[in-house]
Amino acid sequence: MIYINLFSNQGKVAIVTGGGSGIGWVMAETLAESSAVVVLLGRTKEKLEKAASKIEEKTGVRTDLMVCDVTDNESIKMTIEKIHKEYGQIDILVNNAGTTSQGTVHTLSENDWNHVMDTNLKSVFFMSQAVVPYMKEQEYGRIINTASVAGDVSLYFSSVYGTSKAGVIHLTKQLAGELAGSNITVNAISPWFFKTDFNREKLENDEFRSMIENRTPMKRLGQLEELKTSILYFASRGSSYTTGQNMFIDGGMTTFGL
């Protein structure tokens, strides 16, 4: 029973960016299943409403939402202030909002570069910056960042996506060191290919999907349910001595040699 209690988030308030679909939805659902009150952030209210309703229906735990543009620091500040005012605490932040743009050094535009960097990396820093004062005041915090296998190995179809995720991995280590003395942990997960709206179009291409499966030692895509234990671990009291880490959830892809 003591081990189960270590992974309970009852009485905690969690924020999940990009929580309206895919990995963000699964993260939010996992936190609600561990009894945390969850607030979903995103730009599309309809998606957030659908996700919040389904999560609350499944878990019986309060799941709220707020529209927020995480590429806009003023929007971030106002949203975080509003959440803290309403709940009186912010215990867990999941920086999951992300996007990509296809293109190499030959084709990638400046606008595409800026959009991906703002969404994937800039938002992680400024969301963290906004919640840290509250976490420091309560002497407790968990920050979880969604990085990617692409932050560790290069992918031929995007010069900017992997670069942004490499930045997330380094920023995770940087913030972990800066915040360790305040009982705030900062960790990251790096998924490989999971079937979500984010990459559905690519994976519907049989040749591409076959390439991904053959490149993966387990010879299959990840199932979204397989992300839950890593999220729960990093979000809970059970990970109190773990910080600055990046967990690959990749079916062995990053161990693959010749």
Sign of dihedral through CA atoms 98, 104, 109, 114? positive
The 8-class DSSP code of residue 222 comes to B
Q: How many CB atoms lie within 10 A of CB 129?
A: 14
Q: How distant, in Å, are the alpha carbons of 150, 213, 226, 237 from that of 250?
A: 11, 11, 10, 25
247 phi/psi in degrees, rounded to 5? -100, 120
Q: 161 catalytic, yes or no?
A: yes
Q: What are phi and psi of 70, to 5 degrees?
A: -75, 0
Burial of 121 (0-12, 13-18, 19+ CB in 10 A): buried
d(CA 199, CA 220): 15
Instruction: Please pick, among 156, 161, 233, 241, the residue that the annotation labels catalytic.
Output: 161
Closest CA to 3 of 250, 238, 241: 238
User: How far, in Å, CA of 79 to CA of 83, rounded?
Assistant: 6
Residue 61 is given by DSSP the state: S
- Enumerate the active-site residues: 161
